[in-house]
Chain A
Amino acid sequence: MNECVLVVDDDREIVKAIALLLEKEGYQVLKAYDGLSAVMKIRERKNLPIIVLSAKSEETDKILGLSMGADDYVAKPFSPQELVARVKSHLRRYTILGDIHAESMDDGIQNGRLCYRISERTLYADGEPVKLTATETKIVELLIRNPGRIFPAEEIYSRVWGEEAFSAENTVMVHIRRIREKIELNPKKPEYLKVVWGIGYKMEKV
């Protein structure tokens, strides 16, 4: 591993902590303390993945950050593990997946960091295959084939299990939770597999 991560924050302790965490993962870390202009400057020259760390957690703030050229947005206070997972995810996609991404266009269904290859019946997250059970794969296939569409639990149940739903909500929810743990960076704040409360479940189109 020779990837280098630039950590920028005006709070030195945070920079130090993140640097320590990333170094433990084997990354080279560069430190800087003025984050505002950094994003713009980097974007001018390089197509590097950028994760913005912000204390502002509002949706509007996130949209602003992403539109300025950031690839990801993590609101403070974040969990260090999540941040590390995100860094990994972005780097992997930036370095390794360039080719795979291009290759998989004809066969796979691409959705953000996820890619589902129908021929293989396999879900890839950041280019790496995710180990899913048969039922979980069926659920993922159903949802990822129709990104953005909301499926009621009963429909998921009848289409995946092929029988009348009895206690669909609980069963489906258990599976969804397990899938989330495998594909989401922060399973508590899922980005892909979302519950639409009072209606059903959906795969967010990223």
Chain B
Amino acid sequence: MGTRWKKFRIIVSFTAFFLGITLLLMNVIPILCLTAEMDFQAGDYQKTEVFADYMSERLGTLIGAAVGGENWDGSSYGFSDTDTYSYEGDVSSEAGSFDFSDGIRSSFGGAEENTVDLSEVTSSEEEASDSSNGTESYRDSYLKDLEGDSNVLFAVMYQGKLLSTNLEGLTAQKAEKGNMPDFASYLPEEVSYNFTLCYNAKGDGKVEIIKDGTPLDVYGNGIYGRNSHWQVPGYENFEAEGDAREAVVFLAAAAEPKLYIESYGQGTIQRGGTLYNMYEDQVEQSGMFQLRIYAACVGVLLLLLLPILHLRDSLGEAKKWIGCQLGELWIEVKALIFWGLPVLLMFVGFLTGSFWSLFSQGTGLTLCFWLFYFGFLDRTYNKGRQRSLLRPFRESLQTRDLELPLQKRLVRRQWLAFAPCLLLLAVLVWFFLLLWDAMYWDAVVLLLLLLLVCAVLALGFSLEYLKRNRRMAEDIGLLTDRIAEVRAGELSDYLELPEDTDLREAAENLNEISQGMEKALEERTKSERMKVELVANVSHDLKTPLTSIVSYIDLLEQEKNLPEHVKDYIRILGEKSERLKNMVQDVFEVSKAASGQLPVHLEELDFGKLLRQTLADMNIQIEKSELTLRTTIPEEPVLIQADGQRLYRVFQNLIQNALQYSLKGSRVYLTLTTQDGKACASVKNISAAELDTNTDFTERFVRGDTSRSDGGNGLGLSIAKSFTEACGGELQVKAEADLFVASVTFPVKN
């Protein structure tokens, strides 16, 4: 239950986190973009720039049509920007748009230079109208066209006469009554026209706009400029002049424009599309905007849910889990997806020019964010233990590299570094040849030539450098080989490098080192030999008188009729001479062992058996002592490489030691164990005398109890140690409180 609940929490937390971030990222940027956009007017299309331009142009065209008379060619009275927004497929809106190259220019009655554009644009319509009704003038057909569009109701008057209108009920008679008719009163009741524009109704050449019953400030500070919304006459720097003063135009736009489709000949004709599209766009955009705000709010809520429901720990777990899962992927694949894909996306965006739209829509940003985020997760949780597709390849390359001798490795690495340079140079040359063909001599080519010359020079220098390095690598190889030789003990050789090489000094130093070592070694061997010789001579010289002593004591022992106390003296003499004899022998052996001159015959033997034999051999001694011997020796063979005779002496000494110095009535433990390929035999006993734990018992002539002389000569452990080491083993002696432990370790042979 607990784990399931935990799992559930983990899933919920990550889902909330993922959805929250996604919703937020997907929508925040578009919301910001839309808010920053001038034309987003939350559903009211009449507030947009496009609408203002459209109406301004319509006004201009109608004034133009009024002034132009029967021969009007479609030119507009007004001006327009080069960037005028246009709706495709709606010819009427195009009719008035001109491409003025700069600033404000007013044209009256149509400027010659502009007619070309217009005729091109409208030619198709002209032809259409010509074919259907050849007698109609262009103006009439244009105005008739406009009349069909009920999205914009209009009326045009010129010199007090009504030229054209689609306002129902407004007739020429009503307009001719001398005074200006109230155009607004002719607007139909059933459809809402909440925007009216009236030009020159008061004869001042100015435009009045009433939207939703309130007049708009059309002219601002009265000077037309970049920020002026309405491109209509009446500004100080753009006044209606001449004939235009005699035209009166009324325009009304529907609050909710519709499409008007009429049958026209064999097909249909669409009218009112421009405003309809503007309106629908605004409605759609505002709907999207609302949706995006809601989505962003949901995202924020989801993110807030995490701390509220205490899911942050679970989120951490989720991240960790994802990180671990990502660890299973090869790092190359991950790098491609998490880092390569976003970069590719941006690159493609830049190339195709859709970068901005991709990111303003939020999708690109969100995608990039998640890719980067997963990449980050992967880095956090899998640092240093990435699976790699290339690693085996790289490793095999490395191992192969290591198999080569040092000098070859060095040269190879140099070439590896040099090869890309060579490649670069080749590309450069190729590029140059390509340009050479074109014979296109200018600064770039000259620069390239210079670069090429430099590159060739650099190549030459680096080749020289490579050559030198190669020689150096060879010298390094020689040097390392020589070092290996010295290490192997070949000291008498001599490494001579040519005088001009960098490593000559190092080689000379090495030679001196090996010579010094040779000398030191020689001296040491000599002194060791002398020491052994000395000890051998001394013991030899001791042996002869000792033989006499032993012999005469023996003779004395055979003497009869001696008083009891004399016999006692003789017994003591016998004991001491025996001890002296042993000591002379031991000293000789110990000195030989210490100088490494002890001959050993290594053979494979059973450690356990050797211990059992030793115990059997010393059975009498052990039984005589007041100690109990406890042994733990495995039955199965424990094979080691050693000299049996010497190892027997080691354990003889150790056991003797234990028998001699143990507390009366205590137990002596002999155990043999094998662990980690090592066999360890240890003798443990409780010392009768108090031990000084700082003493090294294996030192020659050292005894646990320094005050007493009780038959031991202090050489037992020393011999044991020397013999063990001569056989390739290790003897360790430890004393803790009164517990004395001697352990002999040998590597087990398989």
Contact = CB atoms under 8 A, between A and B. Distances in A.
B644 A174 contact: no
Interface stretch (A77-85, A99-107, A131-139): A77-85
Contacts of A162: none
A36 B738 CA distance: 54
A4 interface: no
Contacts of A13: 548, 551-552
Main secondary structure of the interface of B (DSSP, over half): helix
A60 to B, nearest CB: 9
A75 B546 CA distance: 12
A57 B558 CA distance: 27
B607 A173 contact: no
Nearest to A20: B555
Contact of B543 (A55, A79, A169): A55
B616 A17 contact: no
B550 A77 contact: yes
B613 A173 contact: yes
Given A56-B540, A197-B645, A77 B616 contact: no
B664 interface: no
Contacts of B552: 13, 17
Interface residues of B, number: 39
B612 A197 contact: no
B126 interface: no
B335 to A, nearest CB: 63
Interface in B576-623: 581, 584-585, 588, 599, 603, 605-607, 609-610, 612-617, 619
B551 A169 contact: no
Contacts of A11: 544-545, 547-548
Nearest to A170: B616
A178 B104 CA distance: 139
A169 B644 contact: no
A73 to B, nearest CB: 14
Contact of A174 (B606, B610, B616): B616
B278 interface: no
B680 to A, nearest CB: 16
A65 interface: no
A86 to B, nearest CB: 14
A170 B611 CA distance: 11
Interface in A41-79: 53, 55-57, 59, 75-79
Contact of B546 (A77, A153, A169): A77
A17 B551 contact: yes
B551 A199 contact: no
A196 B555 contact: no
A142 interface: no
B554 interface: yes
Nearest to B611: A198
A47 to B, nearest CB: 28
Contacts of A173: 613, 616-617, 619
Given A14-B544, A196-B644, A152 B609 contact: yes
Contacts of A81: 554
B605 A17 contact: no
B642 interface: yes
A11 B552 CA distance: 13
B617 A198 contact: no
B551 A80 contact: yes
A76 B606 CA distance: 34
A123 interface: no
A77 B543 contact: yes
A172 B584 CA distance: 32
B647 interface: yes
Given A197-B645, A198-B605, A199-B609, A77 B614 contact: no
Size bracket of the A interface? 20 to 34
Contacts of B607: 198
A59 B589 CA distance: 13
B548 A198 contact: no
A174 B581 contact: no
Nearest to B639: A198
A21 interface: yes
Contacts of A17: 548, 551-552, 554-555
Interface in B534-560: 540-541, 543-552, 554-555, 558
Contacts of A195: 613, 617, 648
A37 B394 CA distance: 78
Nearest to B550: A77
Contacts of A152: 609
Given A17-B551, A198-B610, A76 B546 contact: yes
Nearest to A17: B551
Contacts of A78: 547, 550
A181 B547 CA distance: 23
A77 B547 contact: yes
Contacts of B617: 173, 177, 195
A80 B610 contact: no
Contacts of B613: 153, 169, 173, 195, 197-198
A172 B588 CA distance: 33
Interface centre among A13, A59, A75, A172 (most CB of B within 10 A): A13
Contacts of B614: 197
Given A77-B581, A152-B609, A199 B546 contact: no
A197 B558 contact: no
A177 B620 CA distance: 11
B694 to A, nearest CB: 34
A93 to B, nearest CB: 24
Interface string A135-164: 000000000000000001100000000000
Contacts of B588: 57
Interface centre among B545, B551, B648 (most CB of A within 10 A): B551
Given A11-B544, A13-B548, A169-B616, A199 B554 contact: no
B244 to A, nearest CB: 131
Nearest to B581: A77
A174 B617 CA distance: 8
A153 B606 CA distance: 12
A181 B238 CA distance: 147
A80 B616 contact: no
A14 B548 contact: yes
A197 B544 CA distance: 31
Nearest to B584: A77
Interface in B639-686: 640, 642, 644-645, 647-648
B601 to A, nearest CB: 11
B645 A169 contact: no
A148 to B, nearest CB: 15
Interface in B108-158: none
Contact of A169 (B540, B541, B605, B609): B609
B548 A79 contact: no
Contacts of A59: 599
Interface in B673-704: none
A198 B746 CA distance: 14
Contacts of B642: 198
B555 A21 contact: yes
Contacts of A55: 540-541, 543-544, 547
Interface centre among B552, B581, B609 (most CB of A within 10 A): B609
B616 A76 contact: no
Given A14-B544, A55-B547, A198-B613, 17 more contacts: A17-B552, A55-B544, A77-B543, A77-B550, A77-B581, A78-B547, A79-B554, A80-B554, A80-B555, A169-B613, A170-B612, A172-B616, A198-B647, A199-B606, A199-B609, A199-B644, A200-B609
Interface of A: 11, 13-14, 17-18, 20-21, 24, 53, 55-57, 59, 75-81, 152-153, 169-170, 172-174, 177, 195-200
28 contacts: A11-B547, A17-B551, A17-B555, A21-B554, A24-B558, A53-B547, A55-B540, A56-B540, A75-B543, A77-B543, A77-B547, A78-B550, A79-B554, A80-B551, A80-B554, A172-B616, A173-B613, A177-B617, A196-B644, A197-B614, A198-B609, A198-B610, A198-B640, A198-B642, A198-B647, A199-B605, A199-B609, A199-B644
The 3 closest A-B pairs by CB, nearest first: A198-B605, A197-B644, A173-B616
